[in-house]
A and B are shown apart, each in its own frame.
Chain A
Amino acid sequence: MDPLFEFCLRMGDNTLVLGHRVSQWCGHAPVVEEDIALANTALDLIGQTQLWLGLAGEVEGKGRDADALAFRRDAWDFRSVLLVEQPNGDFGNTLLRQYLFDEWQALMLAALKRSTDTRVAAIAAKAAKEVAYHVERSRGTVVGLGDGTAESHAKMQAALDRLYPFVGELFATDATDEAVAEAGIAPLPSDLRAAYDAALAATMAEATLTIPDSRWTHAGGRDGSRHSEHLGHLLTEMQWLQRAYPDATW
Chain B
Amino acid sequence: MQPSVADIWAVLDGVPDPEIPAISLTDLGIIREVAWEGEVLEVTVTPTYSGCPATSFINRAIEEALHDAGIAKVALKRQLSPPWTTDWLTEGGKRKLEAYGIAPPTSPKGPERCPHCGGADLERISAFGSTPCKAQWRCRDCLEPFDHFKCI
Contact = CB atoms under 8 A, between A and B. Distances in A.
A50 B125 CA distance: 30
Given A37-B126, A133-B127, A133-B150, A43 B49 contact: yes
A137 to B, nearest CB: 5
A33 to B, nearest CB: 4
A43 B81 contact: no
Given A43-B49, A48-B51, A126 B126 contact: no
A130 interface: yes
Contacts of A136: 127
A44 interface: yes
B77 to A, nearest CB: 13
Contacts of B16: none
B5 interface: no
Contacts of A36: 126, 128-130, 136
Chain B interface helix/strand/loop/mixed: loop
Interface in B62-93: 80-85
A48 B50 contact: yes
Contact of B81 (A37, A47, A118): A118
Given A37-B126, A37-B128, A43 B83 contact: no
B128 A130 contact: no
Nearest to B150: A133
Interface residues of B, number: 22
B30 to A, nearest CB: 13
B142 interface: no
A129 interface: yes
A51 interface: yes
The size bracket of the interface on A is 20 to 34
B129 A130 contact: no
Contact of A130 (B49, B53, B80, B126): B49
B8 to A, nearest CB: 26
Contacts of B81: 118, 121-122, 125-126
Given A46-B51, A127-B50, A40 B128 contact: yes
A44 B51 CA distance: 5
A130 B127 contact: no
Contact of A129 (B129, B136, B152): B152
Nearest to B152: A129
